[in-house]
Structure 1
Amino acid sequence: MDVTVMSPIHWLEHWVNETPDKVFLHQPKNRQYETHTWAEIKQQVEGVAASLHHLGLNKGDKVAILAKNCAEWFIADLAIMRAGMVSVPIYPSANADTIQYVLTHSEAKAAFVGKLDNQDMADQGVPGNIIRLGMGYDTVPCQHSWEQLQSLGAPIPEYLPQMDDLMSIIYTSGSTGNPKGAMIKYQAYNWANNKIVDVLNFDAKTRFLSYLPLAHITERCLVEGAAFHSNMTIYFTESLEHFVEDLNYAKPTVFFSVPRLWSLFQKNIIDKLGHKKLEFLLKVPIVSGLIKKKIQKALGLEHAQIAASGSAPISPALIYWYQKIGINICEAWGMTENCIYAIGNFPFREEAIGTIGRVLPGCEIKIAENDELLFKSGGLFTGYYKNEEATKEAFDEDGFFKTGDLARQEADGSVRIIGRVKDNFKTAKGKFVSPVPIEKRMAQDPHIELLCVLGSGMAAPVALVQLSEGASVMPRPQVKKSLAETLKDVNGHLESHEKIGAVVVVDEPWTPENDILTPTLKIKRHVLHEKYAARIEMLKGDVILWEDEL
């Protein structure tokens, strides 16, 4: 078996032959767990693929998937591949404008629509010329139900994708404007998934809970793609309400998350036990081990051999805190454009905390003269769909991808992200400021949930802060005192032109719904600048203010 030329359809055929009765997918519906074996999945894939052709779609046509994670997402994705078509995943949290833009730009002919938290957005965003295909859940009106799609068309001839075929157009989350469609060929997807399985030692005993959006490259490669390659077992969650219950049911051996969820877990643990009590118990030798096991079990992570964080920078303080309860969080870095397999702290090394780890096997980096991180691997995308100019600008003369991140490499090989090329700004003083390192220092304050440093053309940089849930109900003077101490400490490490002139606590939480966060919870700095610049541009003098005091 030559794994270098195995598409997901090749893997489907392989596991149907090798382990037809193995349960691959566990899907909770109305608190009952439906299971899907490889043989059952194959049957559904064949039916749905035949129906796509029956509905008038042809090889090479684009088909979107707009749904929260579920077993049917995997099956629809495989059916699109089996039909020789190109998938276009869309974030389930996307607004109507984004949904319409992606569908129109990609020239999608049909869209699978499944579980969604906001059905109105999908209903408004999916144009009338798009065929709507149901996925077996209560959702927007669709022309064809999931059940009908099993048997609409006559069986189609066998088709196995070639490595040079286009597999998917994955739209980036658009933190600086309209999303760009990264074209991923089977070759790149296959290469990255093989590496992930090899480096992280995934096998048939591995268990994963799939809950981060499958429209994002992390879940698409690290979970779905790696599962096709390794025959691991995948579990889904029914809803946010049942997340902890489903996590405990899955008892994953690998758990990847985003900093915000790790932070929420921490808050829940501290709220239950109390900070001082927990700190005391963890110092008592015999009790310490019992407490760690109890916390891990409550989280559903007692079997997790790998815990990791990605998508956005995670505070080193948070990683150190989790170390105390026996969970080592490996920070990782990757992008849509490199199929997520790139740089990571695998295996976990404490001395690498604060970095994104080392370059993973098979990958190559360079640091450009302007400190931009340049990257090359077998997992690189082909280019941006219908955007030759952006594609040309994305690569240097040696074929290295320009990541847009500023970085430096430490003596031990670890890579440290020090900013974003487009994030740097000049204040009214005319000198460049890199906000990301400043934000990392400020994020150590436990009262801060999210923050963003602005300053383009302003008297001094200003930190906008969203308080943590706990801090938002505390007395203002108490929070103000902590923020003032943090500001003094941070400014003590900065050059005069970099010093934060003010901290402003915002009223409205930042979410994807109000367009301040991307679907992957990255902050849209330009949106905040447009919203706040005129009100904060003259602030300086180490002041701490709430938005209603501006």
Structure 2
Amino acid sequence: MSTQKNPVEMLMQWAKERPSTPWLFQPVNGAWKSYTWAEAESQVRSMATALKSLGFPAGTAIAISGRNTAHWFFADLAISMAGYVSVGLYPKQSVDAVKYILNHCEAKVVFIGPMPDADDFAKGLPAGILKIGFPYADLGIACDHQWDDLVKKSEPFSGYTPPDPKQLATLVYTSGTTGNPKGVMITGENMAFATMGLMKTMPAVGTEKFFSYLPLAHMFERGALELASIYLGAQVYFNENIEKLAEQLKEVAPTRFFGVPLVYSRIQGGVLRKLPQEKLERLLKIPLLSSFIKKKIKTGAGLQNVRYMFVGAAPMPMPLMKWFEKLGLTVLQGYGMTENSIYATANLPKANRFGSVGRAMPGADMRISEEGEIQYKHAGVMAGYYKEPEKTVETFTADGWLRTGDKGRVDAEGYLYITGRVKDIFKTLKGKYVAPAPIEGSLARNTDIDQMCFVGTGLTQPIMTVTLTPEAQKKSRGDVEAGLIADMKVVNETLEPHEEIAKCLILKESWTIDNGMMTPTMKVKRNEVEKRFLPLIEKHAQNRDKIGWE
């Protein structure tokens, strides 16, 4: 048995050692409501009693919905304290996915949090599931019980016995770019191993302050933020809604910031709206002004206190990384997947190599197979897929290594470079295979591109479908086309003839979670892009123009 404390025990420890120290900061009507460690423990203990009183057997699945809130954390810990298994649901998850997940894990209870799509979400709820409403005004779903009422009438849970670390702690459903979501079984041991490794490589310096806005249903936010805050004793501020992200990020000024490439390009866009690139470059060349400008930009974005800035979920374009670097902000790229508790590789402030996803984390045994696939074997690797033994077997090698489905190479110093997806490779009509990821990464040199997806199934020559940044949409078509043609020429010179980009097809509408073009973790659904734009792609494939417009 492990001697490492689990998250519930850590909460109890902080409540004893720092009862009146604030831990969580929840925005309510423009003001921050704080919860101390002792208040958090009290909420968690009473809710654990309330859940136990419902009479469900140990190990029952209990779901948590809505955007990130203090009560998301409380519910997760109360579920664990009561001996149940938590299941996170994404905001803006499709009705079919909600229905599938809740039926698949046989959830008996769902915590209802504030969300932008309450009407759709309600359609996915199975008949008979108990709904417990978090204490927020804008839920939009009628609930069987209210959080505050249950907490008020329930005695604090006592006599907590830590479970076996190898026991199932949470089910994390992968957002899935294809097919039904898969329930990744994460044990207490998986979480403890990954969190301990994170603390070793990134120890706390003074009071750490986090800003929580990426979905808690995803293992990244759960591990790097929720669990890290519990183990490090760090403060957490929650984003009220996505429209307030820039404003609240500035207000909070966290010591660690995590984002996906899209968030970083939005921060860049916000800066360039006030200070155009040409003017910025001019000012940064003036020695006396340069440090003042950098400081002003960092403070304006809320990034002046950041010690670690991480990007994940998708590769970040090199020009964007270099743009932040010029401002004295190093964006560190990491790599991991739900199946290995997001514990794989990371660049660190004193060990950072642009273009790579860093070196293996402590104890994260990694190898590259003969086919070039990245594989892992360590204590953070999942127990398997829930109720899917065949898929579990497929995901592991005969000697027990986790197949990531990603291809990569490791340099002489141990830095890992992702070179594509094993399954993303497509075949053109020439019968030749093309790996899209590296080509997309190369064309990301063009700063007018917001999102892109390289497609070629059923085509003689592949086409790059792109959407433009808000700034690029204001430019003349001629300027946009000239930039894209020049960058395509540079990229094509490095490619085999069958891989070359035949043209860029510029699409009007941005790809979002709402319109089904992105997963809740902001990955582009390649199959959706191909399916939705196939007639347009085929039509444009018939002419020789280098640029096509929707």
Query: Do they fold alike, i.e. is TM over 0.5?
Result: yes
User: In the alignment, is the contact (CA less than 8 A) between 2:319 and 2:447 conserved in 1?
Assistant: no
How far apart, CA to CA, are the structure 1 residues paired with 2:406 and 2:487? 26
Q: In the aligned structure 1, how far is the partner of 2:12 from the partner of 2:163?
A: 12
Q: What is the distance in 2 between the residues matched to 1:400 and 1:541?
A: 47
Instruction: State the TM-score, normalizing by the size of structure 1.
Output: 0.96
Give the corresponding residue for 1:506. 507
1:165 deviates by: 1.5
Distance (whole Å) between structure 1 residues aligned to residue 224 and residue 483 of structure 2: 39
CA deviation map 1:151-191 (0-9, x unaligned) = 34455452223212111000011112211000000011011
Alpha-carbon deviations, 1:9-34, whole Å to 9, x = none? 11111112211111111111001211
Pair 1:117-2:116 in alignment: yes
1:16-53 deviation digits (Å, cap 9, x = unpaired): 22111111111110012111111111111111111112
State how 1:233-272 maps to structure 2 within 5 Å.
Answer: 233-272=235-274
532-541 or 393-402: which moved more? 532-541
* Distance change >3 Å, CA 348–CA 465, structure 1 → 2: farther
**Residues in 2 aligned to 1:361 and 1:459: alpha-carbon distance in whole angstroms:** 46
1:500 touches 1:542 (CA, 8 Å); kept in 2?
A: no
Which stretch shifts more, 318-327 or 485-494? 485-494
Separation in 2 of the partners of 1:385 and 1:396? 18
The residue type equivalent to 1:117 in the other structure is P
Runs ≥4 residues deviating over 3 A: 151-157, 544-548
Structure 1 equivalent of residue 85 of structure 2 = 86
1:41 and 2:43 matched:
no
List runs of 5+ in structure 1 lacking aligned partners: none
The equivalent residue for 2:406 is 405
Match of 1:496 in 2: 497
Deviation at 1:405, TM superposition (A): 0.4
User: In 2, distance between residues paired with 1:347 and 1:507?
Assistant: 38
Report the 3-state secondary structure (helix = DSSP H, G, I; strand = E; otherwise coil) of the residue aligned with 1:497: helix
Q: Which amino acid aligns with 1:86?
A: V
Is 1:346 aligned to residue 348 of structure 2? yes
Residue 440 (structure 1) aligned with residue 429 (structure 2): no
Conserved in 2, the CA contact under 8 Å of 1:503 and 1:543? no
For residues 283-322 of structure 1, what are the structure 2 equivalents within 5 Å?
A: 283-322=285-324
Q: 8 Å contact 1:204–1:232 — kept in the other structure?
A: no
AA partner of residue 316 (structure 1): M
Change (3 A) 1:333 1:542: farther
1:212 touches 1:257 (CA, 8 Å); kept in 2?
A: yes
**1:201 alignment partner, one of 196, 200, 203:** 203
For residues 390 and 418 of structure 1, the distance between their equivalents in structure 2, rounded to whole angstroms, comes to: 24
Look up the match of 1:14.
13
Residue equivalent to 2:127: 128
Alpha-carbon RMSD across the aligned residues, in angstroms, is: 1.6
Question: 2:181 aligns to what SS in structure 1?
Answer: coil
In the superposition, relative to structure 1, how do residues 438 and 293 fare at CA in structure 2: closer, same or farther (>3 Å)?
A: same
1:142 is the counterpart of 2:132:
no
Q: How big is the shift at 1:257?
A: 0.9
Judging changes above 3 Å, is the alpha-carbon distance between structure 1 residues 470 and 542 closer, same or farther for their aligned structure 2 residues? farther
What is the Cα deviation at residue 378 of structure 1?
1.4
How many matched pairs? Answer: 546
Cα offsets for 1:115-173 (capped at 9, x unmatched): 10111121111122111111111211111111112034455452223212111000011
Matches within 5 A, 1:267-282: 267-282=269-284
SS at match of 1:151: helix
How far apart are 1:362 and its partner, in Å? 0.8
* Identity within the alignment, %: 39
Picking from 309, 327, 332, the partner of 1:330 is 332
Deviations 1:467-493 (A, max 9, x none): 111112322122111111121111111
Give the partner amino acid of 1:344.
Answer: A
**Counterpart-to-counterpart distance in 1, 2:425 and 2:496:** 15
Looking at structure 2, the residues matched to 312 and 83 of structure 1 have their Cα atoms a distance apart, in angstroms, of 36
Matched letter for residue 331 of structure 1: Q
Cα shift at 1:5: 2.7
Q: Take 1:347 and 1:4, find their aligned partners in 2: how far apart are those partners?
A: 31
Work out whether residues 46 and 157 of structure 2, in 8 Å CA contact, stay in contact via their aligned partners in 1. Answer: no
Q: How many angstroms apart in 2 are the aligned matches of 1:29 and 1:250?
A: 15
1:29 and 2:28 correspond: yes
The answer on whether the counterparts of 1:54 and 1:152 sit within 8 Å (CA) in structure 2 is no
Partner in structure 1 of residue 378 of structure 2: 377
Q: For residues 142-161 of structure 1, what are the structure 2 equivalents within 5 Å?
A: 142-159=143-160, 160-161=162-163
